[in-house]
Amino acid sequence: MTRSLRRRRCAGAVALALLALVLPGCARSLPGDEVARACRATVAARWPAWQAPSVDPAVRAWSAQHGEDPTLAHGDFDDDGKPDAALLLRSSAEPGQFKIVVCLSSPVRDKLVVIDDLYCWDGITRMAKGDRYTDMTSFVEGVYPRDGIHAYCFEKAGATYIFSAGVFTPIIDDD
């Protein structure tokens, strides 16, 4: 991971650690977990050939240190105040084909949005609304207007996909 992404992930790890202190021994699932379970079930029924990819051990270890799953991102990707889930998937029928399927909890939009043509696919994570970024293609700096899905090539590059007008658009924000 690049230095800027490490700093952002570290802040997330601190928040997770604080949550663990506030809710010790709490075994109940969070709303985002329920969305992720429903998302996995929907994807399995609709696209049985798509499944979670095998993940490089270094990526799995880094993600575990940060309390994350490199094939799952939780966030409010459509900015409606409800939890959404994103799954990194690969096709068992077409090796090398990766997609992100996003399950939105908003009842007024299409609940499943597929992101094809990924910039990177070693893992995914959430980038938080309000975090700063630099677009590496234009060198323009900005702030994420809502939570985004960051797809990364471990310790190399990445892009964050932001939902707007029914589609996810990439920002190349990691090199």
pLDDT for position 21: 31
- Token pair recorded at residue 112: 């499943």
Report how far apart the first and last C-alpha atoms of the chain are (Å, whole number): 9
pLDDT for position 102: 96
Coil, helix or strand at residue 79? coil
Rounded Cα distance, 21 and 39, in Å = 29
What are the per-10-residue average pLDDT scores of the chain (175 residues)? 48 37 36 84 92 93 94 95 95 85 76 92 96 96 98 95 94 92
- Token look-up 């790890």 returns 13
Give the Cβ contact number of residue 87 at 10 Å.
23
pLDDT for position 3: 43
Phi, psi of 143 (to 5 degrees): -130, 135
Contacts of 55 (CB under 8 A, 6+ apart): 63, 70, 71, 122, 123
pLDDT for position 28: 37
pLDDT for position 92: 81
